[in-house]
Amino acid sequence: MYSNTKNQNRQFSIYSTLIIVVLFSACSKPIFKSKWLKEEAPSQFITRFETTKGIFDVEITREWSPMAVDRFYQTVKHRYYNNTVFYRVVPNFVAQWGNNDTAVLKYWKPFKLADEPVIQSNLKGYMSYARSGKETRGSTLFINLKDNQRLDTVTANGVKGYPPFGKVIKGM
């Protein structure tokens, strides 16, 4: 009789654990939904970044790079950049960051942005997507720490320029 009670307790424990796991996974926010990629950004909006070094606000302008702004809007709205780190800061050049969480990155990374022309110059405080070749923008951002107009026309890996789509308006 003792071993039967012990087995029942063990089964109850296993079922309880499974129920808790199912409840937590059902209540957690999804990492990615393809319908998010269809969301269009407003023509202009402000995004606040909270960092361990303070806050900064970026004013986003869709007219400068519509595809970049839509992607930025989608990723910010769905918390893609939450808990990310600035992993590259080059004094007098750029501060760069993106999401390094492989569970999140694997869903967003395949959806790259087409290249767009540079309409606004890469001045101090202006934000752009980094890229590694043709149509590879979409996850890594940088802010210019000084005027970097050469990034407007530089050709790297077959693509000309890095189009800014926002500028820091507070906390630079």
User: Cα separation of 17 and 31, whole Å?
Assistant: 23
Q: What single-letter DSSP state applies at residue 60?
A: E
8 Å CB contact between 41 and 70? yes
Q: How do the pLDDT tens digits run along the chain, 172 residues long?
A: 455 556 555 554 454 444 444 444 344 567 889 898 899 999 999 999 999 999 999 999 999 999 999 999 999 999 999 999 999 999 999 999 999 888 888 999 899 999 999 999 999 999 999 999 999 998 899 999 999 999 999 999 999 999 999 999 999 9
**Claim: this prediction has a pTM higher than 0.85:** no
User: Cα separation of 20 and 35, whole Å?
Assistant: 29
User: DSSP letter string over 4-20?
Assistant: HHHHHHHHHHHHHHHHH
3-state secondary structure labels for all residues of 95-108: EEEECCCHHHHHHH
34-170 belongs to CATH 3.20.130.10: no
Which pLDDT score, from 0 to 100, does residue 4 have? 56
* Cα 161 to Cα 36, 120, 137, 169, distances in angstroms: 27, 11, 12, 23
User: Cα separation of 78 and 60, whole Å?
Assistant: 17
Q: Whose CA is closest to 93, among 158, 162, 139?
A: 162
Instruction: Give me 161's structure tokens.
Output: 């320029």
